[in-house]
Structure 1
Amino acid sequence: MITLYGDVTKTRANRCSWMLKELGVDYDNKPLAFHPGSAKPDDFLALNPNGKCPTLTDGDIVLYESLAINLYLARTYGAALGPQSPKEDALMQQWSFWVATEIEKPLLLTAAVRCLFEPHGNDEEDQAIALKKLSRPWGVLDRHLQNRSYILGDRFTVADLNVAAVMHFIPIAGIDIGAWPSMQAWLETCLRRAAAIDLRSVDFKVPHPATSRDIFAMFL
């Protein structure tokens, strides 16, 4: 039995729950979520000395880092979602690394400025800086998707899942991506998939900003 450690509404475990649901693989979820600075159980630290979620066990293998977990699941159980050749495997890794290095940090900053900081959404200078950093990689992805339905071509794969899972903060934060229509259509298609339900359940726009900040910090 696969075990996924991490609350799927409060940690990046929702990326892995999406993958597991796509695959139809049975798994047990341990809904852990640690606030910054809180103590972690020793048995969890024995699995992941970083003390972060998600962590996944599958038999005798223990993995952490959400995108790496999804690449492993795709190769092991993925069928059409996984690589069909070494070339596809390399491209799936490339796009997973790309979204982590080019998109995630400025997008988290933009989402935080728009949703969590007080007053909400009013720091236009910080938003402009973050969106300027995002415009170049978003342009890259938009051009890549102009003549194809999905990142690798005509089928949904772990490359789409990993990139879309990182970018799910776009609709949560109400960020307008109309200037990148191919990317926007692709992202909407990905996030409408039934298995992406845990990502859609995340909502930082709650009445108590302190609570929002605590939840958001667990994604950092």
Structure 2
Amino acid sequence: MLKIYGVYRSRATRPLWLVEELGIPFEHVPVIQAYRLPEPMASEAPINTLSTDFLGLNPMGSIPSMDDDGFVLHESLAISLYLARKYGGAIGPKDINEEALMIQWSLFAATSIETPALKIQQTKADTDDGKSEIEVAARLLKRPFDVLEKHFSQNSHMVGGRFTVADINVAEIVRYAQGHSALFDNRPALKTWLETCQARPAFKAMWEKRLAEPA
């Protein structure tokens, strides 16, 4: 059986949202980040990214990881792209060109959007320094967000005119910056696309499970 390792409050949301879309059976193994635990090496500590058993699966100690009947894979974007290719039907690529575009957009989001978007999510805006850091991060997002705005002004989805794994991968990265409304107020096509993705029943099911986890 397919196993996905990682908590919902992590990048594991990407493959966990995807399996909700696919409706395939899987086992969720809730491996938590070690930095969130006061004593991750204690005998009573839950399985975490420093646990010996998990490091045996993923020596990097990062989540998520996946075991699909003995095929082990790490990195959330790679896992999602693999699962969509194997199980996805319309949510996966229909040909090699679509597959290349799904990889392109996923890597674009990871390299051009994720770092400043995470800075926005993780920085408190209740101090002058925090506000300044957020504004710097928002400026770094201007060009990639303009690229997405132009794309969604002409296309309903990332690839192929339909909802695919590329929408999941990109939406879950763009989400990090969602709290900074100014980035979306003047980019209506991007805002509409993200809200449409997050209105899907599978996203809501994934998000409900995320909210049920301890913060």
Provide, for residues 78-135 of structure 1, a one-character-per-residue CA deviation record: whole Å limited to 9, x for no partner: 10011111100100000010000000000000111246xxx36862221111000001
Structure 2's unaligned 5+ residue stretches are 42-49
| Structure 1 residue 104 corresponds to structure 2 residue 126 | no
Tell me if structure 2 keeps the 8 A contact 1:44–1:51.
yes
| Structure 1 residue 175 corresponds to structure 2 residue 175 | no
Tell me if structure 1 keeps the 8 A contact 2:17–2:202.
yes
Quote the RMSD (CA, aligned, Å): 2.0
Give the corresponding residue for 1:128: 135
Change (3 A) 1:192 1:87: same
Provide, for residues 125-177 of structure 1, a one-character-per-residue CA deviation record: whole Å limited to 9, x for no partner: 21111000001100001001112110114210111110001122233x35331
- Provide the C-alpha distance between the structure 2 equivalents of 1:200 and 1:16, rounded to a whole number of angstroms: 15
Give the corresponding residue for 1:79: 89
**TM-score, L = length of structure 1:** 0.84
Change (3 A) 1:168 1:199: farther
Higher relative contact order (CA 8 A, sep 6+): 1
Identity percentage over the alignment? 38
Pick one of 146, 149, 152 that aligns with 2:156: 149
Tell me if structure 2 keeps the 8 A contact 1:165–1:199.
no
- Provide the C-alpha distance between the structure 2 equivalents of 1:133 and 1:199, rounded to a whole number of angstroms: 27
* Runs of 4 or more consecutive aligned structure 1 residues displaced over 6 Å after TM superposition: none
Superposed displacement of residue 202, structure 1: 5.1
- Provide the C-alpha distance between the structure 2 equivalents of 1:150 and 1:80, rounded to a whole number of angstroms: 13
- Provide the C-alpha distance between the structure 2 equivalents of 1:23 and 1:120, rounded to a whole number of angstroms: 43
- Please state whether the residue corresponding to 2:32 is helix, strand or coil: coil
Give the corresponding residue for 2:47: none
Tell me if structure 2 keeps the 8 A contact 1:148–1:154.
yes
Tell me if structure 2 keeps the 8 A contact 1:48–1:55.
yes
Superposed displacement of residue 200, structure 1: 6.2
Tell me if structure 1 keeps the 8 A contact 2:118–2:177.
no
Give the corresponding residue for 1:21: 20
Tell me if structure 2 keeps the 8 A contact 1:168–1:191.
no
**TM-score, L = length of structure 2:** 0.86
Change (3 A) 1:122 1:201: farther
Amino acid at match of 1:87: N
- Provide the C-alpha distance between the structure 1 equivalents of 2:139 and 2:180, rounded to a whole number of angstroms: 16
Pick one of 157, 165, 171 that aligns with 1:158: 165
